[in-house]
Amino acid sequence: HNKIYLLNADTLALERTISISGHTHHSTGVAVDANNYYITDYTGNNGYMHKCPKSSSSSIQCQSMSRIAGYGGVPITITGSTLYRASRDSAGSGSSTYDWDNLRYLVKSSVDSATNVQSQCSLGSGTDGLAYVGDNQVIQMVWNDDDGGSQPKLNLIDADTCEIKSTTTLNGACSSPLNAAGVAYKPGKVYIYCWGSSANVVMYSF
């Protein structure tokens, strides 16, 4: 829908809707820093990351940055000037087959130069979402094959080595036939996006 929805982080109430332009196709990833929203989209192998300046306006203009997205999209998360994204391979390429299960590498780069890979490691499983949590750790939402009966599985991983520190399954997070399709974080809370015939966001202590 080319919109950004701003929710209250404590109540999940919708506070504001922002229409975005200069961005087309299918949004499959979003991250934010102090000044911008970053959105990834895909259509075939012609996906991009877009930078959208924060504004109090109800509509904003985005600009295309790097061509990084492929079939299945690209989950992203940002801390400071560092961008982490899930990729098909260690070079940060897009995937040639629509399947989030292909997104098995964690790739690190500068947010301003997403295609200039600084480091990468193997995740060992497909990726449906990423969220940086501090202390050089990232939450990986494991791809569940769009299975509305499978609950969100989260790996807490080392952002440099992809070593799994812990694994959590959030039973009851996404009611069937909704599918886990994204994760976000703020200190003490993890947020799960559930997608399907309807959609909702649920919040857990973490």
Query: For 24-49, what is each residue's pLDDT tens digit?
Result: 677 888 999 999 999 988 766 667 88
Tokens representing 57?
């306006």
The whole-angstrom separation of Cα 180 and Cα 158 is 22
pTM of the model: 0.92
Query: For 55-109, what is each residue's pLDDT tens digit?
Result: 999 999 999 888 876 666 789 999 999 999 998 877 777 666 667 888 899 999 9
* pLDDT score for 71: 63
Mean per-residue pLDDT of the chain: 87
Query: For 142-151, what is each residue's pLDDT tens digit?
Result: 998 877 777 8
The answer to whether 102 and 95 are in contact (CB under 8 A) is yes
**10 Å Cβ neighbour count for 195?**
16
Query: For 170-197, what is each residue's pLDDT tens digit?
Result: 888 888 778 888 999 999 999 998 887 6
